Structure 1
């Protein structure tokens, strides 16, 4: 993930937080709600496992489609792989609410997030770009004589955080190629994978890279899925439910406030808005950034409400006792304020121009992007206000 936030965003965010600071917060200082808090932990763990299980399943389908393209290049197989990538992102975008708490996805010791969703990506680190047909690992036979899992993992983020060799966005680039158009996504031809009569160079290495990088992606998601599996003795699922209630709630609020404010409003939207650059958008090759934004915002709301509706398997859907229920019992006004803010955020996201790379460059559309940033900042402030009910201060 990108780590630099524009100073203007920080000032604006701080202003909103200051304006919304409660003078006399209602604080839960007893164990009156101990059972409810424990129930919230159970819902959280169920949601995490369900979402990662579905994300793994969707990415296995992507793996199958990418292998089919690499082994038998055709327009139909390229289109199928693109569709599978888009489908996989629909689930993964909802999983990012389980980040920012030193959990299995981004644990400082062995969290695989950097191999899954690292961005923004300097595409010429992996493959050719316009004006440089020899760029990238794929075309560098001297420094990277062998394309295998070790090569890709060891190269990831070497020389800078944009030197991305692994994850969803590496797969995205290998399917779409550079986005050089204002009206469409990237237009990489399937012939880039044809070893006879193909386009570009090193088609066989490109095919090997595609298969290897998607295999790595599946393996990384399998690791996170297993970490949340309640059937596995000693999994993080049991560790999380064993946390004291206050620590668990702090983690939940931290993930929501960081994803809504610092990450989504700041890194993923405002930086691209301020720079008017598609190089700073999340899914720039496929023009899918608007879905990334929507899904991340929905993920925050889902966690607060304790709901997850599976599009993979209805049996994986979750609807349990949640923060929304507890907060409503303590301070219905604050609960309503936050629920209304979620609705405002989603409405403003729906009003943004698509694709996102045009929303941040067309002068008539840029104010709508800033409206989303402002609503997400306010969402972060409202979440901070709700966290105060539990004596949680950030």
Structure 2
């Protein structure tokens, strides 16, 4: 169900405050004694930036294809083990994707595309059956449509034929009526279909969708198992197609994709986009939207991966993606390391002390995120994110406040690092 504790307006105000904080930080630094990077060195960093993006999105696509394989196998012969395998494949697919989010907030091709894949929180009632006490976002007519349960959908007088669930149908229903709560595609729609609602509130436990929700005949639970399977297959197909599109946008040796366009820009503009992506993800998105909102509202609905209780890893890999970009390295899913010229190299050449402080800030942030993941994955008495944000949970307040504090310091470090090489992160050319 969706939370009514965090009105949309307050959410927007909170994000706006975060953006204003970032803007003030970026303009407050004294730029005296700074040094513009060597043109050749800057171009090398820009080229490697594109290489990093291509590697990350390639891994995101390949892991989504593995998810597709596991889902197809599960649906051919539904079983508890098959469902668990599909769930694990979903978790693996989140690892590269969450690291890719640092390429948002500055690259239009990503910003205009991201909502298809990672929109949240969603109104589950749009997709499938929900608990009796479920309530949709205020005023959202799509929150109770139940696409899986209704082959004919009435949209306020307009009747939509949903007798056959296809990727095209899901795309047409995504953000139906302009409501961001109507999430019909992407990781979180798939997550809901694999786990179901998490009805444990602030207690330990994720969603417990039975594998029989996909069984045919008399073994089918909750009805419409064939349509549920069609929805899951279609949603995964959309995810693979969308990731394939983005991989192609960053592919090398092309003349008509985004990478070619990016490499044709002045290095200063691309470096600004890199700093913008790191700063915006740090403070506005991860710190504000994904942690601060949930903590202040004590809202399990505002948890990022709320059905699977995978939120700690999503946050961890967001942080790792930021660190990757500054250091110019990425560990691929096969274990290989991609490394090359990095922002940190440019900053170190200009002002070694500022580079050292930035690296320390990144390390401190990752350490604070590791406390979160270690707490959630503890062998004895694990405490998941939705438990940590419960009202009065002092442990959660400490862990999450430490992460927020680290993200603020990290963003200030980015401000100083950008200034050290005479880059204005707001000058993204967009």
Q: TM-score, normalised by structure 2?
A: 0.84
- What displacement does 1:148 show? 1.0
Q: Is the 8 A contact 2:22 2:279 kept in 1?
A: no
Counterparts in 2 of 1:226 and 1:23: CA distance versus 1, 3 Å: closer
Q: Is the 8 A contact 1:58 1:312 kept in 2?
A: no
Aligned residues: 385
Matching residue of 1:219: 241
Correspondent of 1:150 among 152, 168, 171: 168
- Please give the alpha-carbon distance, in whole angstroms, between the structure 1 residues aligned to 2:357 and 2:32: 14
* Gap change, CA 1:364 and 1:167, over 3 Å in 2: same
Q: Deviations over 1:186-239 (max 9, x none)?
A: 110000011222110211000000000100000000000011110333222222
Which deviations, in whole Å up to 9, do the C-alpha atoms of 1:109-156 show, x marking residues without a partner?
xx3x22211111111111111117986211122213321112100111
CA contact (8 A) 2:120 2:183 kept: yes
Residue in 2 that maps onto 1:163: 182
Tell me if the contact between 2:271 and 2:423 (Cα under 8 Å) persists in the aligned partners.
Answer: no
Aligned to 2:54: 49
1:137-286 matched pairs, under 5 angstroms: 137-143=147-153, 144-159=162-177, 160-181=179-200, 182-196=203-217, 197-286=219-308
Residue from 76, 79, 82 that aligns with 2:81? 76
Q: CA RMSD in A?
A: 2.4
Q: Which of 301-310 and 363-372 deviates more?
A: 363-372
Does the aligned pair in 1 maintain the 2:120–2:181 contact within 8 Å?
A: yes
Question: Is 1:334–2:335 an aligned residue pair?
Answer: no
Instruction: Confirm or deny that 1:123 pairs with 2:152.
Output: no
CA distance in 2: counterparts of 1:365 and 1:190, whole angstroms: 33
Say which of 415, 426, 430 aligns to 1:384: 415
Gaps of at least 5 residues in structure 1 are none
Task: Report the CA distance shift for 1:15/1:198 in structure 2 as closer, same or farther (over 3 A).
Answer: closer
Structure 1 residue 347: Cα displacement? 1.3
The verdict on how the C-alpha distance between 1:77 and 1:381 changes in structure 2, with shifts beyond 3 A counting, is same
Residue in 2 aligned with 1:27?
34
Residues 1:15 and 1:169: Cα distance change in structure 2 (over 3 Å): closer
Q: Which moved more, 1:362-371 or 1:193-202?
A: 362-371
